[in-house]
Structures are given as structure tokens and as C-alpha cells.
Structure 1
Amino acid sequence: MQRFASVAGSRCGTSLCALALLVTASEARPRVDATFDFQIAPKPRLSALADFTTTTGIQVVRLGEGAISGASPAVSGRLAAETALREILAGSNLAYRFTGPRTVTIESAPDAAIALETISVTEVSIGRGGIREIDITSADIERRNATDLRGVFRGEPSVVVGSSLPMSQKLYVQGIEETNLAISIDGSRQNNKVFHHNATTMIDPSLLRAVRVDAGVAPADAGPGALGGAIAYFTKDARDFLSADGFGGSIKSTFNFNGNVSTTNLTSYSRQGEFEALGSFTYGKGSEFRAGNGEQVLGSATNVLSGLGKLAYQNADGHRLSISHEQIRDDAIRPFRANAVQIYGSQTTPLVRPYKLDRQNTVVSYSNVAPEGWWNPNVVLGYNRTQVAVDQYAGATPETYSYTSEGVTDSLNGKLENKFALPIGEIVAGIDFYRDRARSIERTYRTAETANNVGAYAQARLTFLDNAKLSFGLRGDHQQFGGINGFRSSDQGLSSNVSGEYALASHLTAKAGYSNVWAGVPLAENYVQNPAWHYGAGPRSVTSDNATAGLVAHFTSFRIEGGVFRTRIWDARVPLWAADMALRAFDVQSQGFHVGGAYSWDDGFVRLQFVRTDAAIDGRPADSYLGKYLTAPIGDILTVQVAHSFASSSVTIGGDVEIAFEDDSLLNPFTGIGRLDGYEVVNVFAEHHPFALPSLTLRGEVRNLLNQTYAARGTYGLEYGSGVVRPLYDPGRSYLVSAKLTF
């Protein structure tokens, strides 16, 4: 990395722009926000289509000659009708077309020589009915026009993303930081913790197909280390866009006038016979943005490149083999500590320095989309690697550059599992492993910690008498930990979970869940590793328990839900660089409640959610310093989402509101430090599909309409006050225009 010379100057990219609004489905399609509870076991495809009609009320009509043959995979969870239908028809060479709100026709796919209509990505969900599951569908990601991780989860107050810079964003689920969750991308377990000033899992939303969050209680097949839940990211496939042979693609360009940030994504995909391929690339470039107070946020320029490549083979019997590689790189001038603009005191370092973050993920997988009997395997082998490089200085000016240090984490991991279909549900059983490393590369020394783990698990998901569901699972893990200077230790433990729901009445359901998790020893952050560390008797394995309970009332288009949650973690290891701090650990607790409601109509919806999250470390209210890699002060957050489509003009309008309430739980009355200031952020958008060119989507939006000066909850140092920490403020009022052309 070259020595620091000066802060990057203003750059202005070119972008295809026009005013407009969000994804508008054709009048013939089912309502985009309508979802149904599917419980279709593996069976003949014709029988599965009959179950589809029973569940949705959508009539299926077969056009042309020939019977509907073959087997359908299991389809379960709360899904959109189109998502479920696509799963039933997977591998059948049958295409579908909605001819009315309650009618769909099925016919043989056209020959490859005939131009094939690209499937509109109206709704892709990967939900499986978890007790406290948060599903981010493809429609959610498109509607929010997400450009970073916070945008993906906007409107979901149970998932808080701190920091306004994508490369330093930290994610919290019900108050628990993401390194205490089982994180996976396309089924590959992630090991991305490198530097507490950087993001842990930076990902490009334009590559995402859908996201599933198990908040708190997670199933055994979510993977090892699910201390506070799990997050599964899934990237796009060619079959998400094409129902049969053909090719297509899209180009999308977005321009943000706050910072003159230009972001362009190019995606292409193809299906030919038994083969399919997809490639997607995103490039973003721009200058520093301005906060609501009009000041430029130091080190907030954009310079990011990401890409995804996928190849897959699927034969007529449903056997599917795929390989994918996904990578993202952020390389720009950032605040010296990239999660805060400045920490006040004697100035011993430059204000800014170059940061380079490079994360990549490669996955090979095998599955059968048309299983027969009890043989329904899923095999995943993955490798991921995250590298962070930062310049180090001997003094407070750029001229005192000394050297560039690096931190590298990687993980080789895999799993072999099988889903056993039962008349009342399914059982997933399997084995998995991971080999994780965390390495620090300094000028005068190199250090590393390692963790090797082997686990076995089983998870049952059962439905009784249409009014009761029960899910329970067990996993056992054995871990070998390797420390600095040859230290070795090993340990093993069991994790269990149970959850269920019961229909108290036709419109009222009660649900509850509990889990106890053993996660072994977490690896230390690379940039705090010290060659002088001594481990004594060795680090203790971290454990947790999670509990949740709630009620759900649903009345046709209305849905009201509320519940309580609690997560407790014991012996959470967070070392410091000092020689005697290798075993530093805390006990963490996060608890609270959530209430929400939703109302949907034929052309739109409104959703409202409120979450209170109270976090503590060793029995005291949590702050963002002690909470590094553990938790953060969150408090009370209210969100509202709304969207409405005007079919006659092919226009959709909508927006969202986030209100964070003032919180004094950390306030020191003598110093005035500790208050969490409240804020209200409003985002609005409009989107249009011209009738003359329906493949074109034009969008305009305003983010932070009220021009609030604020740092979002979860951002480091926001509770210390401007005299101690100058936090990373979020962008002020920002105007964005974008255009997307699908071909």
C-alpha cells in the first residue's frame, strides 16, 4: 500500500438517472406482499400443485398436451405464492404465467430458440418458519434500494446496523453483535473478524437473493456458534431470473448527489440445457458525504468493487452441482479509527489513513431439487478469507509513515446433511466442520490463533393437526484451540433447542422457544494479538441461553405480533493486547420486547414495529467500548414502512421512518456523558416502469428527508458526547436517482 499523501478529492461519476419509484408487479400477478404458510412434503408434482391451490386459493390450469410428471421437493415456511410455485416446478421444464390474481397457467417451456421472458423477481424468500425468524426477501431488498448492510435491514428494528461507512458497519440482532451469531453466505460458515474498527461481514446488497435471520433461538442446522442466533445470506442464481433455457441480464446505475457517488451494477445470466451461469459486478466511486449539519464526514468517500460468479449443472433427475465465488473490496482513505471520525485527546496519530478491506467467499455445493423418499442430501464445501491492511505511523503526521500491517482470517468449512421427509414434517441430520485461522502480520512479528471443530446435529420440524408446530434439535461439537507460542487446548459440548407454536383460536397463535448453546473458544481479533500472551490454564468455552415467547393475531389482511426475548452469554472472550489480557472475558445479557403490526391491501402495505433492547455487560448497562464484539447500547426504536402501487400508471410510491428515542440509561449526571440522543429519519421513494418500455425501471428517492444530524444506534462512541468521541454521523438529506434496464 502506498504511503498516505492526501485525503481523496471530490470525484463525480457518470450515471444514467431519472426520477421514479419501486418494483411494480403486473396486475396479473398475485399481490407481492401476500405470503402463505406452506407445509408441502416431497411428493408427486401434480399432488404438490393441488396442495398449492389448497393453501393459496390460486387455481392452476395446465395448457397444452402432456401430463404433469416428476417429483416436487418439500416446500415449507411462510412464502410468497410465486416463490412456492417456482420451487414446486424446479427441474420440470415447465413454465408458469399468472393470468389473473387467482389463476396461473402451467405449460411446457418454449424452445431455447424462442426468446424467453425473464422472471420478474417479485419475491424470493428462504424462510423456514423459525420461532423468531426475520425474512428479508428479494422484494424487500429491491424496494429498499439497499446500498449497504443497513439498507438491507432498514425497517427491521430487531436488527441494528451501526456506522455510516459500509466498511466499518457492525450488526446487532436483538442487541447481540454478529460475531456471536452463526453467519453463513450461500451455506458457507463465515470467519471475518479482523479489526474492531472494521466491518465484520461487508457484503454488496446488489448480489443478494434473500436473507434469513434467526433472532435468539436458532436451530441446530444453522451451524456451530449460534450464541445469539444466526444469519444466512443467499446470493442470486440464474434460476431466480429464468424459468427455462435462455439468457438475460440487467444494468443498474444509481447516483447519490450527497457526495456525488455513482454506483453501477451489471448482471448477466443464462440457462442452456442442464447448465446455468450468472455473473454480477458492482463498482462504486464518490467523494465524502455531508451530514445533516452541512459538514463533510471525514474519510467517508466511496471506492468499492464487488463481484459474483456462479456456474451450476442440474440434470433431469434433479441432481444439482454448483460453484460460486463472491468478493468485495473497499480501498479508500478512512478515519484513523475507521469506526469513529476522531477520539479527542493528545494527537499522536494522523486523522486519516488508507484502509484496504478484501473479503472473498468460494462455495461448492450439491443438492437434489427433486428428491425421492428419504434421500434429500445437501453437501457444502466453502472457503472464505478476509484481509485488512492499514498503514502505521510513528507520529501525528502522514510523513511519519512506518509500515503497513495486515490481519488475515480464513475458514475452510463444510457440511453433509440429509433431510428426511415425514408425514408430519421433516428431520434434518448431518455433520459439519470448520478450520478457522486468525493471523496478524506486523513488521517485527507474526502471530496466529486457530480453531478446528467437528460437529454433528439433528433438527426436527413437525406439524400436528394443522394447529400446532414443534421444532427441536441437538448438536454436539468438539473443538481444538491453538494459541500463540504453541498453546493447545480442546473441549466439547452440547447445544439444544426447542420451540413451538399453537393456535389458541382461529386468529390467535402462541409461540415460544428456548436454546442452550456451546460455542467453544472464539478466536481473538487479529490486531490485538500479542506474541507475549500467556494463556494460563487456557480460555474457557463460551456458552449461552436464549428464550423467547409471543403472540400472533392475524385477521385476513391484518397481522399483529408481540413478544419478549432474552439472551445471556457467559465467558465471552474479548482479549486486549496487554500480555495478561489473552483471557479477558465478560458475561453479557440482552433482553427486551417487540410489538408490531401490518396491514396489506391489493396494491400495497403498511408495517409498524417497535423494539426495546436493554443490554448489560457483567451486570452494568453496556457501552460501545466494553461492548466491542459483544453488544451496544440500543434502547427503543420504532420503524414504519409503507408502499403503494398504482397499476394504471405503473408507479409505486413508498417510504420508511425510523425513530430512535432518547435514552439516559448510561447518563452520568456529573459529567453529562452517556446520553443517547433521539432522532427521526424519513426516507421516501417513487418508482416507475414506462408502459412503452416495461423492462426499464426509473426511481427517485430522498433519504433523511428531514436532514437530521445523527449517528445511528449501534455506532461506536455515540454515547460519549462530542467532547470525547466524534462519531461517524450519517448522511444528511440525500437525493438519489437510478435507472435499471433488464434485457
Structure 2
Amino acid sequence: MSRSVSVIVISTGLGVSGALAQDADPIELDPISVEAEDELEAEGPTGNAFALDSEDLARRNPADLQDLFKGEPSVAVGSSLPVSQKLYVNGVEENNLAVTIDGSRQNNKIFHHNATTLIDPALLKAVRVEAGVAGADAGPGALAGSVAFETRDVDDLLEPGLSFGGFIKQEYDSNGDIFTTSTSLYGRSGNFEYLGYFKYADGNEREDGDNVDITGSGTGLLSGLGKVAYEAETGDRFELSYERVNDDEIRPYRANIGVLVGPSTPLTRNYELDRQNVTFTYTDETPTGWWDPKITLAYSTTDLDNSTDDFISRGETDSVNGVIQNRFPVHSGTVTAGVDFYSDSVELDFRSLTGGSDDIGTEEAQNIGLFAQARLEPTDRSRLSFGARADFQEFQGANGNETKDAGLSGNVSGAFDVTDNVTISGGASHVWGGVALAESFIINSNWIYPTGGITPVTANNIFFAVDTSFGDWSFDGKIFRTNLSNARVPTFNVNNAALTADMRSEGFELGVGHRWESGFVRVGYANIDTTINGQPSDSDTGRYLTTPIGEVITIEVVQDFERHGLRIGADAEIVLEETNTFNPTTGAAGPALPSYEVFNAFVEYKPKAWDNLTLRAAVNNIFDETYASRATYGREFSNVTPLNEPGRSLQLSLQYTF
């Protein structure tokens, strides 16, 4: 530990003396910056939440989830291919979080070799993460927190006073010769508004730091977003949105593994992953008294086709879901109460073309939840949030067996300003998650389910945080723990439909930041330890739960030269060696996971004479480091060649807004 803390101090000193930094936005690591102020307040006082707003996204210019969350040491993303990237918050895999896009529940457990939520960050205006303790209105299944993605609206893009606008953006990445074109049109006409966005990216295989081709790393991405909305004079607002991402390319045979030694399978096959999200939302933009409603009705689906000449192999997950809620004003705060529901299904369609066995099966689950969450300010120096929910679930197995169950969840968190410069916060929650559906590609129509049903998963979370600010400096610290009990981890074997495991994630996070009139620097450190059934975690046993993370340091520094329309910045990720590993095959300690250091830099220019033009150049992985992300599958197994990250690349972009 002494070595890790000293690195933070040294890095901070270098960052400040280097003084490459940005605007005067808040630099606290927890939280960073968020959506509109009223939405921020509605989320409550918890020190375990952070958010990325449109300014953060514009600065990072993310191409995938790794770019989106760089700078957040407690969030890890595995795999160098967006089609197989998995998100871990405080070491917990996103299948154990309530993940929404524009309020729509995502049921994306499609294949353990694929991404859980394939998303194009260019579509986003904000992301909010509640790590561990989440509100009762975050939705069902928020076992280890929640992640809420919010896509762009007309208000985010259209200049004040205009009724029509748009942009065209062209990007190039030298590593893989990737060309990306995106365009958008948006506007208002009377009480109506509309937005259309389309993006296409195409490129060859990329190379790692040793100039070795990364298997199956070509780019073939289509994404789009469409929105229409009507806001009446009375304030009643109706919005319909449709968002879609499609990845269709040659990938490794197992899309999150470079090469698996042993099985006699082809090196690659084609993967087509298609995710869609349709959402209807009603709100009253001029709420009065006790009337402040929000209604969301949505449908989300993910389809994967990785068929070959020998078999047809298709999987699908989908969710019909919705929320009806109202925010009630009470003394010193608000209470949000309502009902939510989902009807989820997962389906496998596997048919042999060579005379082998076929397998077609489906699992389904329906849930109705009742919830209430209070967010109060009892005194000028304190904030308090507490809530509860009751869930009623029906589960249908692949053999038609049906079971019913119900459970209660509760949470409490609060913050207190000890002084004008020091705030302490903490919270705890117990969450009932019901029975999680299996992934599509391991469903076995012959599974034998227990007579009394599968044991529902539950979680207990706790955290304590301290946030301080002294002038232009801020210091943050947080400790946390998440325990999952009876998390479902089935395998294809006929007797393994009801397998469960217990998982624990615990650790702490530290942050220090400094800002000045035209820039900032911030450094974060996270130390995350995870176990499964009492043993150190590994990426195979933990494929639905967790992966070894260890110690991560992030550095971000940005400087604006507003007079010249110039912004420059740099960031780094330093991951320390992790020796606490486990090999489930041998039942003994696994090899140490190697350390690595990655540095990136960018310059962005907006000419004063053409303020609607933005030019950007970035160099990623400046020192050509050869490494696999700490959250990438298989680094601890001798028969696995993990997917390395791309080596040095030059990225250029040009955006014209009209």
C-alpha cells in the first residue's frame, strides 16, 4: 500500500507542475458533474454516485465504453473489442446492476463471450452511476447499484434562438485505418421537436504495441438515434425515441478471447450483434402541488447471430418494461413513489447443419414492483435519502416449470456537512433480486429445475465517504463493500440450471484534484478486492459476477486557452501488479497479473473565425504499451491468449455544426 499512495502524491505533483488543464468545472471525483440541477437533487445525497455530463463526454470524445469511463478508477471495462466489452463497477459485473437507457430496462445477458450492453457513446449526453447503494426507484435488480445512460435531446444540440440545426463529423484512426462518419439533424416547429442521428464506422484489424494483429478487431459499426417530442402549452410533454446499435464483423471464435488453446475450433467467425431500444415517456414540465408525474413505457432487445457453415446459432433477449411514478413535495424534500414492471425473456435457437443435436429453449420472467424513495434535507447541513420496494416475480424455466416468489428491499444513505469544507456520507442497502434469467447461449431445454424453484439472489451494500474542499483543492475518500448471496451461475449441463454462488467486493477509493481558472488536474486511486465463494475471484468463475481488479490509478489534466480557441489535455491509467489470483482448474493460486501504464493526449481547436468548426487530434497509447486491460477475460489462464489493447494510434476528427 505504501508504494501505491506514494505514486498518487508524486503523480499529483507532476500533474500540477505540468499544468495542462481545462475549464473551471467542478473537479471532485465523487460526484463529478451531472445533468440539470433539479435532476441532481432528485438523486439524493449519496457519496457513492458519480455522473458524466455533456462536457465530460465532449472532452473525452469516447469511441467505446473504455474511453467513456477512463478517469474513473472504480469502473473497469474489459476487452479491446466493443462487441465483447463488459463493465465492472466497484468490481461487480453490470448484470448485477440496474442498467437503463433513457429509463428503459436493459435485459442484455446474451452470451458470456459478448458485451452485456453494446452502446455508442456518441449518442449520449449523460451517464449516472450509483455504485452499491441505489435508490428504490432505480428499478428492480439494482443488486450492486445502477447505471443510467441518457441519450441526446434537441435541447442539448440546438443553439438558442434557432429552429433548425445539425452537424457532420468525420473521424480517422491510424491504427486499423478506421474511418467514421456521423451526421445529425434536429429542430423545432411550434410545439414539436425532432432529432435524427446516424453513424457508420469501418476499418481493418488493429495492432497491439508489438505490431501484432489483434484477432477479429476489425470495425463494422452502425448506430442511430431518432426522437420526436410534443410539449403542450400546459407543460405536458410526450417523447418517443428509438436507438439502435449494430456490430457486424469477423470476431474471434469466442469474442472476448484472442485464442483458446486446446479446442479444435476455427480461429474466427462472424458475429452480428444488434441492440434496439424504443422508449415512450410522458412528463409534466410545469408540475404543480402534488402532481409531478413521469410515465415510461419501453421495449429493449438484443439479438446475436454467430452462425457458421456447420450450425445456425442465434440468441435473443428482450424486455417489455415500464414505470409509473409521481414525485410528491413534503416538508424539507420530496418522496418519489410508484410502480414498475418488466416482462423479460431469453431465447436460444441452435440447429446443427451436420447431423448433430439441436437445442431451442426459452426462459421468461415477469415482475411487478412497488417503490417509494424519500430525499430530504432535515437541516441546512444534512441530506437524507431512504426508501423501500416490494417485488413480485414469476419465473418460467426452459422446461415450462413455473415458480412465484416475492421479496423486500430497503436502502438508507445520508450526508452531513461537518464544516463548510468537509462532508461525510454513508449508506447501506439490502436488495432482493429474484431469479436472474440465464444467458441465451447456454439455455438447455432439458434443464432440471428444483421443485421449490431457484433460490433468489440478494445483496447487501455499505459505503462510507469523506469529501473535502479547500480553496481550489479537493480531497475525496470512500470505502465500500458489496455481498451477493445465491447469485445464479448456470451452465449448460442438464443438472446445473440452479447453480448459485456468493460474491464479495470490497475496497476503497481516493481522489485529489486541483482546479484553476482555465483548467484542472485530478488523480484517482481505487483498490478493489473480489472473492467468489470465499476464494479470490477469477474471470471464468466470475463471468456473470466479477473479475480480479486490484489497484488502479487514473490521472486526467486539461488546460483551456480560451482566447485562442484551444484546449489541450492528457490522461493516464496506471494499473499495478495483482498477485491475489486463483486458478479454479488447479484449485491453487494463479499467476500474477502484470502491471501496465497507458498515456494519452489530445489537442482541440475551435477557430475564432469559424466557431462552428471543431478540429481535434489525439494520440492514444503514446508509448506503445503492449497489454490487456485488467478487466479482460483470461489473463490468469495459461491456455488463453487474452485480447490485447491497441498500440499507439493517431486519431483525427473534424466536426462542422450548422
TM-score range relative to shorter protein:
over 0.9
| Partner amino acid, structure 2, of 1:637 | V
Alignment correspondent of 2:482: 567
Alignment of structure 1 residues 463-502 onto 2, 5 Å: 463-502=377-416
| Partner amino acid, structure 1, of 2:540 | Y
Confirm or deny: 8 A CA contact 1:217 1:513 kept in the other structure.
Answer: yes
Separation in 2, partners of 1:246, 1:474: 44
Separation in 1, partners of 2:106, 2:172: 31
Alignment correspondent of 1:287: 204
Alignment of structure 1 residues 243-392 onto 2, 5 Å: 243-244=160-161, 246-345=163-262, 347-392=263-308
Confirm or deny: 8 A CA contact 1:152 1:205 kept in the other structure.
Answer: yes
- Residues 1:204 and 2:120 are matched in the alignment: yes
- Residues 1:138 and 2:54 are matched in the alignment: yes
Deviations 1:197-216 (A, max 9, x none): 11010000110010000000
Separation in 1, partners of 2:145, 2:49: 10
Alignment correspondent of 1:609: 524
Choose the corresponding residue for 1:726, options 632, 637, 641: 641
Secondary structure at the residue paired with 1:239?
Answer: helix
Identity %: 45
Choose the corresponding residue for 1:162, options 73, 78, 82: 78
**Deviation, structure 1 residue 406:** 0.4
Separation in 2, partners of 1:718, 1:733: 21
- Residues 1:413 and 2:321 are matched in the alignment: yes
Confirm or deny: 8 A CA contact 2:457 2:488 kept in the other structure.
Answer: yes
Separation in 2, partners of 1:695, 1:129: 38
| Partner amino acid, structure 2, of 1:527 | F
**Deviation, structure 1 residue 78:** 8.0
| Partner amino acid, structure 2, of 1:633 | P
Separation in 1, partners of 2:436, 2:560: 47
Confirm or deny: 8 A CA contact 1:126 1:211 kept in the other structure.
Answer: no
Separation in 1, partners of 2:633, 2:245: 23
Alignment correspondent of 2:17: none
| Partner amino acid, structure 2, of 1:290 | E
Separation in 1, partners of 2:220, 2:42: 31
Deviations 1:328-381 (A, max 9, x none): 000000000000111112x41100001110000000000011211110000000
Where structure 1 has 5 or more consecutive residues not aligned to the other structure, the ranges are 1-23, 26-30, 37-76, 89-123, 393-400
Q: Cα gap change, 1:126/1:492 in structure 2, threshold over 3 Å: closer, same or farther?
A: closer
Alignment correspondent of 1:590: 505
Alignment correspondent of 2:460: 545
Alignment correspondent of 1:742: 657
Secondary structure at the residue paired with 2:418?
Answer: strand
| Partner amino acid, structure 1, of 2:333 | G
Choose the corresponding residue for 1:404, options 300, 305, 312: 312
Confirm or deny: 8 A CA contact 1:309 1:324 kept in the other structure.
Answer: yes
Q: Cα gap change, 1:596/1:35 in structure 2, threshold over 3 Å: closer, same or farther?
A: closer
Separation in 2, partners of 1:671, 1:233: 40
| Partner amino acid, structure 1, of 2:655 | K
Alignment correspondent of 2:447: 533
**Deviation, structure 1 residue 671:** 9.2
| Partner amino acid, structure 2, of 1:499 | S
Alignment correspondent of 1:518: 432
Separation in 2, partners of 1:136, 1:616: 29
Separation in 1, partners of 2:553, 2:32: 24
- Residues 1:422 and 2:338 are matched in the alignment: no
Separation in 2, partners of 1:499, 1:588: 23
Alignment correspondent of 1:647: 562
Separation in 2, partners of 1:125, 1:646: 32
**Deviation, structure 1 residue 670:** 12
Separation in 2, partners of 1:129, 1:250: 37
Alignment correspondent of 1:677: 594
Separation in 2, partners of 1:667, 1:173: 21
Confirm or deny: 8 A CA contact 2:33 2:51 kept in the other structure.
Answer: no
**Deviation, structure 1 residue 559:** 1.4
Identify the range of structure 1 (415-424 vs 332-341) with the bigger mean alpha-carbon deviation.
415-424
Deviations 1:122-173 (A, max 9, x none): xx99965433111011111111110001111111011111000000000000
Confirm or deny: 8 A CA contact 1:245 1:272 kept in the other structure.
Answer: no
Confirm or deny: 8 A CA contact 1:125 1:138 kept in the other structure.
Answer: no
Confirm or deny: 8 A CA contact 2:44 2:384 kept in the other structure.
Answer: no
| Partner amino acid, structure 2, of 1:583 | A
Alignment correspondent of 1:656: 571
Separation in 2, partners of 1:207, 1:633: 30
TM-score, length of structure 2 as denominator length: 0.92
Separation in 2, partners of 1:385, 1:344: 33
**Deviation, structure 1 residue 672:** 8.6
| Partner amino acid, structure 1, of 2:529 | D
**Deviation, structure 1 residue 259:** 0.3
**Deviation, structure 1 residue 550:** 1.5
Confirm or deny: 8 A CA contact 2:206 2:214 kept in the other structure.
Answer: yes
| Partner amino acid, structure 2, of 1:426 | T
**Deviation, structure 1 residue 294:** 0.8
Q: Cα gap change, 1:570/1:671 in structure 2, threshold over 3 Å: closer, same or farther?
A: closer
| Partner amino acid, structure 2, of 1:456 | L
**Deviation, structure 1 residue 317:** 2.3
Separation in 2, partners of 1:262, 1:127: 39
Confirm or deny: 8 A CA contact 2:414 2:426 kept in the other structure.
Answer: yes
Deviations 1:233-256 (A, max 9, x none): 000000122345511111111100
Separation in 2, partners of 1:125, 1:386: 33
| Partner amino acid, structure 1, of 2:607 | P
Separation in 2, partners of 1:289, 1:78: 33
Confirm or deny: 8 A CA contact 2:618 2:652 kept in the other structure.
Answer: yes
Alignment correspondent of 2:152: 236
**Deviation, structure 1 residue 32:** 5.0
- Residues 1:623 and 2:538 are matched in the alignment: yes
Identify the range of structure 1 (244-253 vs 496-505) with the bigger mean alpha-carbon deviation.
244-253
Deviations 1:307-336 (A, max 9, x none): 000000012222110000000000000000
Deviations 1:577-597 (A, max 9, x none): 011110111000000000001
Secondary structure at the residue paired with 1:470?
Answer: strand
Confirm or deny: 8 A CA contact 1:125 1:136 kept in the other structure.
Answer: no
Where structure 2 has 5 or more consecutive residues not aligned to the other structure, the ranges are 1-20, 352-357
Separation in 1, partners of 2:639, 2:27: 48
Separation in 2, partners of 1:436, 1:667: 34
Secondary structure at the residue paired with 1:484?
Answer: coil
- Residues 1:213 and 2:213 are matched in the alignment: no
Q: Cα gap change, 1:125/1:675 in structure 2, threshold over 3 Å: closer, same or farther?
A: farther
The structure that has the greater radius of gyration is 1
Choose the corresponding residue for 1:693, options 610, 635, 638: 610
Confirm or deny: 8 A CA contact 1:547 1:567 kept in the other structure.
Answer: yes
**Deviation, structure 1 residue 228:** 0.5
| Partner amino acid, structure 2, of 1:391 | S
Secondary structure at the residue paired with 1:478?
Answer: strand
Alignment correspondent of 2:473: 558
